[in-house]
Amino acid sequence: MKKAVILALIGLSIASCTPTQQGAGIGAASGAVIGGVATGNVRGAAVGAAIGGVSGALIGSVAEQPGQCYYRDRYGRRYIDTCPR
């Protein structure tokens, strides 16, 4: 019962966020789980949460810009531009 209440609260809190915040939250949670499982310690979970949060925020920020895509230039730098139609 306790798990169901916690999951419901998390779901409701994420539903009220912007796509960037949702992406960061989901990425951080996923990264923490993966990092913790992969390393078996709290430090790995913290690193996974940080990497997942940043990645999720980047993905979420693109969701706020319909018609925009990520690209890489010849030097490997990422930039956002209009998606091909």
Give 36-78 pLDDT, tens digit per residue: 888 888 888 888 888 888 887 777 766 667 777 878 888 888 8
Can you read off the two tokens belonging to residue 10? 């998390």
Q: How many whole angstroms separate alpha carbon 43 and alpha carbon 35?
A: 8
Domain of 30 in residue numbering reads as: 2-82
Can you read off the two tokens belonging to residue 63? 């969701």
11: pLDDT confidence band, cut at 50, 70 and 90? low
Domain tally, the chain: 1
pLDDT tens digits, one per residue of 25-40 = 777 777 888 888 888 8
Q: Give residue 48's Cα distance to chain centre.
A: 11
